[in-house]
Amino acid sequence: MQILHTVSDIRHCVQNWNNAGERVAFVPTMGNLHAGHLQLVREAKRHADKVVVSIFVNPTQFGINEDFADYPRTETQDCEWLAAEGCDLVFLPNVETIYSPNAQTSVNVSQVSKNYCGASRTGHFDGVATVVCKLFNIVQPHVALFGLKDFQQFVVIQTLVRDLHLPIELIGVPTVRELDGLAMSSRNSYLSEEERAFAPKIYQILQQSHEHLKAGKTIFDVEIYAISALTQNGFRLDYFKIARRSDLQPATLNDDELIMLVAVKLGKTRLIDNLWFNK
């Protein structure tokens, strides 16, 4: 497995693969890898001849008083795990490589970015869209894979690829969960032992909410139930919403492809999850 740090080196490597007629898959990450990331790599190998993984903690998607400085950096372990999974190339740039000192360009995906995490984390999705656009331009993959735990992020990137006519196939990979149902996340390491034992209640409430919908409860009633259940269980609610999967607008009775989106704080840790289904 190669580990490269510069734009010119990674472009040269990928160009050689392209010249040989090999298909390239790309998995962008912020490192501190877990089993969910490794599942993305395994899935990438099913869709391409070569797999590139980037490890870059992107400063522009962190807001004021968020955890950029404290975000776990585990590059050595990450690279060992990626090598064991058969990853072909790790792109490990520094901030100056991705953002030149006089950079003046950012990317905004307006409509799908403004609600949910976009409402509570000002500028977050501009940072995501900008860095993903940069990484796509650097790596120039045929296919890119993203986990669906952050479903809003996936829809933002989907919209970016569509609107800018980028020749990249996007694949969303279902959320990988711990045995007790907690969605795997790098931020789970922030949880205390007591908080970690309590955190699976998020997914349990999502499942219970889905059961209420299947039993005939209205969307409004289920949202009220879930908000009450989360707050009564001690979570500090950011949002809970049932939306259309296609554009994340609030769901109506006429919509069939739905998703429940939730974000809460448990202690100091912000956790997100979702559950998607067809009505």
Tell me the pLDDT tens digit for each residue of 117-144: 999 999 999 999 999 999 999 999 999 9
pLDDT of residue 260: 98
Q: Is 37 tagged catalytic? A: yes
What's the sign of the alpha-carbon dihedral 111, 113, 117, 123? Answer: negative
| pLDDT exceeds 90 at position 272 | yes
Name residue 273's beta-bridge partners.
262
Domains and CATH numbers, the chain: 2-173 (3.40.50.620), 186-271 (3.30.1300.10)
- Choosing from 37, 124, 142, 210, the catalytic residue is 37
CA–CA gap between residue 188 and residue 24 (Å, rounded): 31
Assign 279 a pLDDT band (cuts: 50, 70, 90): confident
138-152: average pLDDT: 98
Helix (H) or strand (E) holding 276: strand 269-278
- Nearest C-alpha neighbor of 256 from the set 269, 270, 266, 246: 246
Average pLDDT, the chain: 96
Alpha carbon 245 to its chain's center: 15
| pLDDT exceeds 90 at position 61 | yes
Check: CB of residue 195 under 8 Å from CB of residue 269.
yes
What's the sign of the alpha-carbon dihedral 3, 189, 228, 213? Answer: positive
Helix residue spans in 140-216 (DSSP H): 151-163, 193-198, 201-214
- Nearest C-alpha neighbor of 156 from the set 177, 129, 181: 129
CA–CA gap between residue 39 and residue 11 (Å, rounded): 25
